[in-house]
Amino acid sequence: MKLIIILQIFAVAVQAIRWIHPIYVTSERNYTRLMMERMGTDCSALIKDINEWHFAPSKLMTLPLDGTKENYIRRNVKEAIFSVVSPTPLATKLKLVSYSEDVLINILDMDPSISKTYDFSEFIAGNKILPSCTPLAHRYGGHQFGFWAMQLGDGRAHLLGEYVNRAGERWELQLKGSGKTPYSRDGDGHAVLRSSIREFLCSEAMYYLGVPTSRAAAIVVSQDPVLRDQFYNGYPRTERAAVVLRLAPSWFRFGSLEILAHNKEMTSLKKLIDFIISEHYPEIDLQSENKYLQLFSQVAQKTMDLVVQWQSIGFTHGVLNTDNMSMLGITIDYGPFGFMEAYDSRFVPNSSDKEARYCFERQFQIAEWNLEQLSQAIIPLLDESQTVEITGVLQNIIQDSQNKLRDAFRKKLGLRTDVNEIDNQLLTMLLQMMEETGADFTQTFRQLGDIPMADLRNPDEVKKHWSLQRLSNNKYFLTFVDAYEKRLAEDGTTDSERRRIMCKINPRYVLKNWMAQSAIEKAEKDDFSEVQFLLNVLQSPYTVNEEAEKRGYADPPPKWSSTIKVSCSS
């Protein structure tokens, strides 16, 4: 009975909006029948053949579409949010590098056995377009490294469509590296294996660290040649084209609004913002006079909360342009990111960032700057009093985020209560010692949770934990231990509780650059075993893995790791 009611509601909703775009006319019956068959027979059945898997009717197609169908690059598109454009097929034989079983099963309702079929690889590459697919490229703009960059858009990515899974979740599937679009610039629309592996692994790693993020389903590689100047030094080399299938509830970003406001396309701007509210912020009343102000407040809150989480795990995004900032407050567009090793507040993972604009310690400042640009895109839809209010909203959220950051680090030390000034001093002391000694960010917190408090004063015990040994070389180390022990006593936390809390919140493994590079070098020789192994380890980042320990994933980085450079080239 519940199923019938749900399907009736679905049918009524489709009928109400079918006039907006012809796709609803052709897909309504098929999709309703499909859902009835799948949910009515066996709700737990997983699809084993990609030809039996279907996208839902696309809601994105109800937004303004580009009237020009020709797919040539650097086209100046007007009054549109999407262009209808298909991926460019890869010409050479495909190889499946890796896939996320969790994504296949729990998001896409696919049986893992589907990954063994060549049709699946063809689907991931963009070579196989399903009848229910509605391929789109998104038009957006953005501020890059502090300057307005005009029209940007999906230059090497294609939205395939939206999928509604058994849990009722709607996910937008996007191929990255799938060919040219009207928004391609000097590149050829393809991505290379090294950057694709990094995005695939990191998006999944972040999810298992509890950080809001896009997900990655699978990655394929071909022999199609792609010419890339990896370090922008005039020495390009030929690399292999690869494609990642990634997913998010939405790929709208700050730049999605910015391009419309900048070009004074107010009708499209209003349609897009109303769509975002309706689909992703249903708690906001679309009839409210303050709906745009409320949207900004929620986006700002989610964004700053995200940065708190990045800071707490030592993650630096690397390219925090406004076109890489999600309207849902999730981590998207993994380019030259980095998990910090030796603590350095000025850590820069992007060799293209010569001015350290996007270094670790500036992520809050940049997020604030980016939110200010977003507010400028929303202000044309506000009245005078709301325009004044939006600045105050942002400042309150920024102030609150500093308290949340201290709270996150307090938890990393196993503390349950909040004592502002004392905790600030304790954390400042620890981070200063880490920076002065080159102690590893991830392993220092983890090893503090691994070792009994009494052993922190015993040099023989401390030296068993390599990052703590580095930390202990600081002349204030025992002063910190005394202050830490006193604070724990005031907190009422026993040593066993402290260690339990810390080992649950501080990971043993994160995706450090040298680990990804090792997997990439093997993958370039068609050995994908380390990519899959890394994925398995990163899916349980808090649990000691014997094989990972043998491979040194929790050890000091190898000396050669210091030569790794990651740029915006992909």
- Residues serving a catalytic function are 323
| The one-letter amino acid at 558 | P
- With the CA atoms of 217, 222, 225 and 226 taken in that order, what torsion angle do they form, in degrees rounded to the nearest 10? 0
Q: Which two tokens stand for residue 173?
A: 């599937």
> Rounded distance, CA 529 to CA 552, Å?
16
> Rounded distance, CA 135 to CA 241, Å?
20
Give φ, ψ of 68 to 5 degrees: -90, 130
For tokens 């196989």, what's the residue?
128
Q: Is the distance from CB of 331 to CB of 316 less than 8 angstroms? A: no
| Secondary structure letter of residue 189 according to DSSP | S
Q: Is the distance from CB of 53 to CB of 36 less than 8 angstroms? A: no
Nearest residue to 541 (alpha-carbon basis) of 208, 80, 149: 208
Q: Say which residues have a Cβ less than 8 Å from residue 551's Cβ, sequence separation at least 6.
A: none
Nearest residue to 194 (alpha-carbon basis) of 513, 514, 521: 521
Nearest residue to 94 (alpha-carbon basis) of 47, 55, 128, 131: 128
Q: Is the distance from CB of 176 to CB of 162 less than 8 angstroms? A: no
Q: CA angle, corner 302, sides to 59 and 409, nearest 5?
A: 145
DSSP string across 437-450:
HT-BHHHHHHHHHH
> Rounded distance, CA 85 to CA 82, Å?
9
Count CA within 13 A, CB hemisphere, residue 284. Answer: 21
> Rounded distance, CA 551 to CA 208, Å?
21
For tokens 């004074």, what's the residue?
264
217 membership: H or E segment, kind and range: strand 215-228
> Rounded distance, CA 44 to CA 140, Å?
38
Instruction: Judge residue 40's burial from the number of C-beta atoms within 10 Å of its C-beta, 0-12 exposed, 13-18 middle, 19 or more buried.
Output: exposed
> Could you tell me how many residues make up the chain?
570
